[in-house]
Amino acid sequence: MFSSETIELDVMTASQDDLFRLIAEKLQGLGYVNSDYLEALTKRESVFPTGINAPVCGLAIPHTESDYIEKQGIAFVRLKETIRFKEMVSNDPVDVKMLFFLLVKNKAEQVKFLSDLMGKFSDDAFLTALLVGKDESAILETLNERKVV
Domain limits for position 116: 4-145
pLDDT at res. 51: 96
Number of compact structural domains in the chain: 1
pLDDT at 75 over 70: yes
CATH of the domain at 126: 3.40.930.10
pLDDT at 149 over 60: no
Q: Decide the pairing of beta strands 93-103 and 58-60.
A: parallel
- The pTM of this model reads 0.93
Cα-to-chain-centroid distance, residue 104: 12
Rounded to an integer, what distance in angstroms lies between the CA atom of residue 28 and that of residue 33?
5
pLDDT at 118 over 90: no
pLDDT at 129 over 80: yes
Sign of CA dihedral 90, 92, 97, 102: positive
As a whole number, mean pLDDT of residues 13-28 equals 96
Which runs of consecutive H residues, i.e. helices, occur in the chain? 16-29, 37-47, 110-120, 124-132, 136-145
Q: Which residues of 104-127 are buried (b: 16+ CB within 10 A; e: fewer)?
A: beeeeebeebbeebeebbeeeebb
Q: What are phi and psi of 106, to 5 degrees?
A: -95, 110
As a whole number, mean pLDDT of residues 16-30 equals 97
Provide the angle, in degrees to the nearest 10, between the axes of the packed helices 37-47 and 16-29: 140
Dump pLDDT digits (tens) for 80-106.
Answer: 999 999 999 999 999 999 999 999 988
pLDDT at res. 147: 66
Average pLDDT score, the chain: 92
Let me know: does 69 contact 35? Beta carbons within 8 Å.
no
Amino acid identity for residue 29 in this structure:
G
